[in-house]
Amino acid sequence: MIRVCFHGAESTGKSTLAQQLAADFDCPLVAEYGRTYAETVSTEFTMDALLTIARAQDRSMRAATADKPRLALLDTDPLMTAAWSQMLFNHIPDELLQYDKAELYLLFSPDVPWVFDGTRFFGLEEARMEFAQVAEDLLRQTGVTYRTISGDWAAREAQAREAITAALG
C-alpha cells in the first residue's frame, strides 16, 4: 500500500488536486479533517483542538486504508497539524510527530495566488512563506520521502500525477 500525503501551506491546490487524482486513480481519498473542524466547530484553534484534529485525521486515515488499497491519497495528515501547531503556538507536542507517516509526501509550493475562503489564516506573504518553510522543515526533520510540487495548475497536476505513478512502480 502506498499512502501519498498532500502537504504544504494553505491555498496551494492540495484539496482540489487530491480530489481529482483520487477519482482518476480510483483510490480512497482521506479528506482534511481540520477543514471540517474549522467549518463546523471553530477557527479559534487551541492546542487541544489541534490534538483533536490530528486524532480524527489519523482515525480517518486508518479507516480508509483498513482494506489495504494499493494507493490512498491523504489530503493532509498529523504532520501538517504539527506545522499548524508550530505556526500558532511555536511548539509541537510529541504526539503530533508520533503518528504513522505516509510513504510519499507531495510538498506544494506557495507559488500560486492565495485565496481567502473563511478558514485560511496565513495570507500575508511573509506568514505564507514562513508556513511553507515550517511544513518543509517538518518533512526534513522526520526523514520522510517527499517531492516538491510547483508551478501553475497544469504543472502541479502533471508533477503530482508523475510522482504518484512512480511511487506505484
- In the chain, where does DSSP find H-type helix? 14-25, 33-40, 47-64, 78-89, 94-97, 125-142, 153-168
Instruction: Report pTM.
Output: 0.92
Overall average pLDDT of the 25-31 stretch: 98
Q: What is the pLDDT of residues 62-85, one digit of tens each?
A: 999 999 999 999 999 999 999 999
User: Is residue 118 pLDDT above 60, yes or no?
Assistant: no
Residue 96: closest CA among 88, 104, 167: 88
Task: Write the CATH number of the domain with boundaries 2-168.
Answer: 3.40.50.300
Averaged pLDDT of the chain: 92
Give whole-number Cα distances, 73 to 41, 52, 69, 85, 131, in Å: 25, 21, 10, 23, 22
Q: What is the pLDDT of residues 122-155, one digit of tens each?
A: 556 688 889 899 999 999 999 999 999 999 999 9
Q: What's the pLDDT band for 111 if we cut at 50, 70, 90? A: confident
Query: In residues, how long is the chain?
Result: 169
Max distance between CA atoms of the chain, in angstroms, equals 42
* Domain boundaries defined on the chain: 2-168
